[in-house]
Amino acid sequence: MAQKNITTKKTAAVATDKAAKQTAWFAIDRQNYKYIAIGFGVIVVGFLLMLGGGSDNPEAFDGAKLFSFTRITLAPIIVIAGFAIEVYAIMRKPKTTEK
């Protein structure tokens, strides 16, 4: 004797509801991705501020240009701030909207 697969309306609705909840849930929200992009941009700006200071003439050394406040102090602070934004963006809990 073969068994019949009996599906009621209630079990079908529960199954589709569970499938919808599983496919719609992401660990990182859209707002978190925006923060990740902002953090990445801040990190890039920090590294761009560290660039330069070189000389066309290898015999000449300009310490004031190489060891400027921007390259030694400001740029690393900006890079660290960018990484802090990245950590916040990853750890931020997405807002839940339950109906």
User: What is the reported pLDDT for 55?
Assistant: 73
Q: Which residues contact 43 (CB under 8 A, 6 or more apart)?
A: 78, 79, 82, 83, 86
User: What is the reported pLDDT for 60?
Assistant: 79
User: What is the reported pLDDT for 82?
Assistant: 98
Q: Are 47 and 83 in contact (CB under 8 A)?
A: no
Q: Given the structure tokens 């079908």, which residue do they identify?
A: 12
User: What is the per-residue pLDDT across 15-49, written as a single tens digit (0 to 9) for each?
Assistant: 555 555 555 567 788 899 999 999 999 999 999 99
CA distance 59 to 26: 57
Domain spans of the chain, in order of start: 27-91
